[in-house]
Amino acid sequence: MTRLPLYRRIANDIRAKIHTGEYPVNEALPTEAQLREVFSVSRVTVRQALKLLIENNELESIQGSGTYVKAPKVNYDIDQQSSFAEKWTHLKGVTHSEVLAFEIQQASITQAEQLNLTKGEKIFYVKRVRFLDTTPITVEETWLPAEMFPDLTYQVMKGSKYEFIEQHKGLIIDRSEQELLPVLPEPDIAALLQIDAGRPIIEKRTRGYLQGDVVFEYSRNYFRPDEYRFTVVAKRHRE
């Protein structure tokens, strides 16, 4: 196994101290001179480690002030089917939802196609803003078959939809089909996310499936680009 260069080992040590809270988010790191003492390395090595973390968007250097720990983005693993709260479990913060709309509608042609229903069938429409602490990071619009979830409530949607489906309903969520699109947000979405309407965001369109190939939801999520990063592991197919 190749031995990591010293500056990368220092960078990893700094990451570990950020993770444990020894170097808190939004607080300044020790000075270069102090870091040299902490890690018993040269100024060049410290600067290489800091440069790596800055370029990786984990630290921020402010001229005349110091180097600061940046709040980490949620790592949205596209190939992992997980709830909003589960996406944030690796970070220290409280997640909650504000439900803006909870109503029964008749499925349009498009909604019926996405949910494998007939036009006019009753569906739930839910719109909510998802928060980490006090920061709005996602706006979600969801459509679900009313016949499948007759006991769905406003209170349920303030919490975890997946927990309700799996633990209360006893259903097994199997997978989702997801499409990512760069879009300019509508004015109401931009206002809810507290961002500039002229700044592109990511829209994710999702069809969720239960075991047995049953569609249970269609949703559209709008993400603040400064809070998320999207990752996927792709394997090369071999004959």
- At the top level of CATH, which class does the domain 74-231 belong to? alpha beta
pLDDT by residue for the chain (239 residues), tens only, comes to 457 889 999 999 999 998 888 998 888 999 999 999 999 999 999 999 999 998 888 888 888 888 988 876 665 555 555 555 555 555 556 778 999 999 999 999 999 999 999 999 999 999 999 988 888 989 999 999 999 999 999 999 999 899 999 999 999 999 999 888 999 999 999 999 999 989 899 999 999 999 999 999 999 999 987 766 666 666 766 66
The CA distance from 70 to 93, in Å, is: 14
Helix or strand (DSSP H, E) at 218: strand 214-223
**What is this structure's pTM?**
0.68
Q: Is 232 helix (H, G, I), strand (E, B) or coil?
A: coil
Tokens of 227: 């809070």
90 Cβ partners below 8 Å, 6+ apart? 75
Question: What residues does each domain of the chain span?
Answer: 6-69, 74-231
Residues in the chain: 239
The CA distance from 107 to 147, in Å, is: 12
Q: Is 183 helix (H, G, I), strand (E, B) or coil?
A: strand
Question: Is the separation of the CB atoms in 72 and 227 below 8 Å?
Answer: no
The CA distance from 218 to 223, in Å, is: 17
Question: Is the separation of the CB atoms in 50 and 43 below 8 Å?
Answer: no
**Cα angle: 214, vertex 84, 225; to 5 degrees:** 115
Considering the segment(s) 6-69 as one domain, its CATH architecture is Orthogonal Bundle (1.10)
CA distances to 60, 135, 177, 232 from 80, in Å: 30, 24, 11, 9
The CA distance from 203 to 234, in Å, is: 21
